[in-house]
């Protein structure tokens, strides 16, 4: 059974919720085990495209299908693919995925997630550091937040949380699951990718998964890889033959495990004057 993936204020009654849903997970502690059971399994997207010959490659063991409840940062680093949580006065509000590393125009280091994950600006934000959810590594509260479309129709679903003053430079990890970043694709570049191009994601619940590009235009990208509730905000990318990655977008939503919408990341970078650090030795084009 594919999970119902809802956006704002998700509760335990997931079986009765609409199908077109966000991948943010609101997490009342008492219901988390039931949500995990409901999120196991997956339905394939219809009319998957045939594989195509492209310079981009897939990654081994990345089909997905075995989600975990959440991913803590056991080494106390801020790295893509771990669970990020924000709170309200009544307790934890949502569980999403820490995505692209970014620097601001003033040199502040931080990370992106999905804009629809934000319960409110100024609220406490943290990463879990252990499987018991008791250890917490703080981030500064969300400072930037957008969950809308630009005037030209481009989807914008992003939020930025920056590292607190107590964090060290060594705690900020920029590679995506060990893969250095080679650059950022613009929406126009991504829209030229053929159907079937392998596209990958680093999710806090589904893990590192890859799947075919189903459709793309300059507003958003439709992806057939595996993702479940709690993966919202994940970094979405294509992989070069040298194993470096090109940033494409941020996981937004989807009606089924292998039927997902991606918001491009480049418009958010431009809007807020942010930069994704390029660490790969060679920059390729388009990327």
Q: Can you tell me the mean pLDDT for 100-126?
A: 95
**Do the Cβ atoms of 181 and 277 come closer than 8 Å?**
yes
| 82-171 and 181-264 in the same fold | yes
Rg (CA), the chain: 17
Alpha-carbon span 17 to 171, nearest angstrom? 38
Please write the tens of the pLDDT for every residue from 157-166.
999 999 999 9
Q: Which residue ranges make up each domain of the chain? A: 82-171, 181-264
The architecture of the domain spanning 82-171 is Beta Barrel (2.40)
Using CB atoms within 10 A of its CB, is residue 132 exposed (0-12), middle (13-18) or buried (19+)? exposed
Would you say residue 196 has pLDDT above 90?
A: yes
First to last CA, the chain: 36
What pLDDT band is residue 29 in, cutting at 50, 70 and 90?
A: very low
**Do the Cβ atoms of 142 and 118 come closer than 8 Å?**
yes
Q: Can you give the pLDDT at residue 155?
A: 94
Would you say residue 273 has pLDDT above 60?
A: yes
Alpha helices in the chain (DSSP H): 32-39, 187-190, 266-272
Would you say residue 210 has pLDDT above 70?
A: yes
Alpha-carbon span 275 to 273, nearest angstrom? 7
Q: Can you tell me the mean pLDDT for 260-279?
A: 97
CA angle 246/176/82 to nearest 5° reads 135
Q: Can you tell me the mean pLDDT for 9-31?
A: 37
Q: Right CATH number for 181-264 from 1.50.10.150, 2.40.50.1070, 2.40.10.10, 3.30.450.20?
A: 2.40.10.10
Alpha-carbon span 258 to 212, nearest angstrom? 9
CA angle 200/287/236 to nearest 5° reads 20
Q: Can you tell me the mean pLDDT for 121-144?
A: 94
């Amino acid at each position: 059974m594919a999970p119902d993936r809802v956006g704002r204020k998700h509760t335990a009654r997931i079986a009765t919720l609409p199908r077109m849903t966000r991948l943010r997970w609101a997490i009342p502690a008492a219901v988390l085990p039931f949500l995990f059971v409901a999120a196991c399994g997956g339905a394939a997207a219809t009319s998957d495209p045939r594989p195509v010959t492209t310079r981009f490659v897939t990654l081994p063991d990345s089909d997905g299908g075995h989600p975990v409840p959440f991913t803590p940062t056991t080494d106390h680093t801020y790295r893509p693919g771990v669970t990020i949580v924000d709170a309200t006065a009544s307790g934890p509000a949502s569980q999403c995925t820490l995505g692209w590393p970014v620097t601001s125009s003033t040199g502040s280091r931080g990370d992106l997630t999905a804009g629809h994950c934000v319960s409110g600006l100024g609220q406490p934000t943290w990463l879990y550091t252990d499987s018991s959810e008791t250890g917490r590594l703080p981030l500064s509260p969300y400072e930037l937040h957008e969950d809308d479309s630009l005037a030209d129709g481009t989807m914008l679903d992003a939020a930025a949380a920056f590292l607190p003053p107590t964090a060290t430079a060594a705690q900020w990890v920029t590679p995506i699951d060990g893969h250095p970043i080679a650059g950022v694709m613009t929406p126009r570049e991504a829209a030229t990718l053929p159907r079937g191009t392998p596209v990958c994601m680093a999710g806090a619940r589904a893990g590192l998964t890859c799947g075919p590009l189903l459709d793309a235009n300059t507003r958003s990208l439709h992806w057939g890889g595996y993702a479940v509730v709690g993966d919202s905000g994940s970094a979405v990318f294509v992989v070069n033959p040298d194993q470096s990655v090109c940033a494409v977008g941020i996981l937004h939503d989807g009606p089924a495990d292998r039927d997902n919408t991606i918001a491009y990341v480049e418009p958010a970078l431009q809007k807020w004057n942010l930069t994704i650090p390029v660490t790969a030795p060679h920059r390729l084009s388009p990327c």
